[in-house]
A and B are shown apart, each in its own frame.
Chain A
Amino acid sequence: MSRRYDSRTTIFSPEGRLYQVEYALEAISHAGTALGILAKDGIVLAAERKVTSKLLEQDTSAEKLYTINDNMICAVAGMNADANILINYARQNAQRYLLTYNEDIPASSSCADCHGGLRPFGVSFIYAGWDHLRQFQLYQSNPSGNYGGWKATSVGANNASAQSLLKQDYKEDSTLQEACAMAVKVLSKTMDSTKLSSEKIEFATVGKTKDGKIYHHLWSADEIDALLREQGLAKVDDEPEAGDIK
């Protein structure tokens, strides 16, 4: 392992690489998977919640999905402590824009600033937002400061296999409902257990109401379970899971 060129982000290695940034990217690829899918009438974000211990108090609120403002939400993969700093920054930035221009911040400007720090922030974000310039938009950012727009994307553990599943299954002009079904399907294949439950995943959607208002919605446990049952991916209590000792 290199010990010469990785102590500071300001130093390039002789091959022209920044190890600190690469380590940050590596840290993210061990985090729980998060994915986003753009549909014609909205966006869905889904994330895997890593259950660390049965004794740990299960926080009912979302720990991987956050709202940034009235028409933007994001999913996090990576270090939660770092994410909190950047989400706080993004929320303040959005409010500052609203104060200055009296309109909501465009989605692309909102995710442009989520990087930096003395050591790189060990988080990738998937943003789902809407603005009047480009309607529904899905972005992904990473510690290097790059960000880009996607139709469907994923970050975290197994993101390569999630990405290829998304590529296989993605249909142009799919509805938000179809996108939700696709999201749980992909998540069920990339996660360790095939049977999912609302304890292990988080779900959020951005969409438009009938009267044209933009809404975002963090799904409750009941709503997630209902979707899982609909897709035949729900865990049935009396059915032993693979590896369970009888």
Chain B
Amino acid sequence: MRGPTIIKAEDDKTRQLNKHTLMAFSGEAGDTVQFAEYVQANVSLYTMRNDTELSPAAVSSFVRGELARSLRSRSPYTVNLLLGGVDPVTQEPSLYWIDYLASLAPVPYAAHGYAQYYCLSLLDKHHNPNISLEEGMKLLERCTDELKRRLPIDYKGVLVKVITKDGVKVMDFDNDRVVRSA
């Protein structure tokens, strides 16, 4: 379905930066893709020049720096980001929450936008530090179920990508599952 407020329902709001780093973005249309692809280009330039990949921690600092620089310019990017990755050396997974004011925080779970008001409480209750990928997917399902029940705007489903030490892959996710109200 398309209309004056909907251009594309299944738009991919992520960019893969290197083999095991993925960045998801939301914010001002135009800014988001422009900024994400600028970061993507710079990270792959680093990979080409140095024959090594930047760790997610290093990428997050770079992105924060670029946003901080942009914030102090005449026309800053209004982009909020989630950056996830697996460190190529230590194999440790990590997640970073970054907003358009160039705040950076390493976090166990995160959300941006209106959906965060419904999801963060669920994530807070059900997340634990040793959570497995399988349990994580179940928790994500709890979140999307809640969005289906409560989000005042038309909910169009999610695109799920998983980052492991082997790279980034798209997960099958049933967006059409009917959820009963409690």
Chain A interface (Cβ < 8 Å from any Cβ of B): 99-103, 106, 108-109, 132-133
Contact = CB atoms under 8 A, between A and B. Distances in A.
Given A132-B89, A133-B89, A100 B61 contact: yes
A102 B52 contact: no
A109 B51 CA distance: 10
Nearest to A102: B61
A133 B89 CA distance: 7
A103 B46 CA distance: 15
A133 to B, nearest CB: 6
A101 B52 contact: no
A4 to B, nearest CB: 37
B89 A102 contact: no
Contacts of A101: 54, 58, 61-62
A106 B55 CA distance: 12
B57 interface: yes
Contacts of A106: 50, 52
B65 interface: yes
Contacts, number: 22
**Interface of chain B: mostly helix, strand, loop or mixed:** helix
A103 B57 contact: yes
Interface of B: 50, 52, 54-55, 57-58, 61-62, 65, 89
Nearest to A132: B89
8 closest residue pairs by CB, A with B:
A102-B61, A101-B58, A101-B61, A132-B89, A103-B58, A100-B62, A100-B65, A133-B52
Contacts of A108: 50
22 contacts: A99-B65, A100-B61, A100-B62, A100-B65, A101-B54, A101-B58, A101-B61, A101-B62, A102-B57, A102-B58, A102-B61, A103-B55, A103-B57, A103-B58, A103-B61, A106-B50, A106-B52, A108-B50, A109-B50, A132-B89, A133-B52, A133-B89
Given A102-B58, A103-B61, 18 more contacts: A99-B65, A100-B61, A100-B62, A100-B65, A101-B54, A101-B58, A101-B61, A101-B62, A102-B57, A102-B61, A103-B55, A103-B57, A103-B58, A106-B50, A106-B52, A108-B50, A109-B50, A133-B52
A152 to B, nearest CB: 24
A166 B50 CA distance: 30
A179 B56 CA distance: 36
Contacts of B62: 100-101
B142 to A, nearest CB: 34
Contacts of B52: 106, 133
Nearest to B55: A103
Contacts of A102: 57-58, 61
Nearest to A108: B50
B92 to A, nearest CB: 12
B68 to A, nearest CB: 11
Contacts of B57: 102-103
A109 B50 CA distance: 7
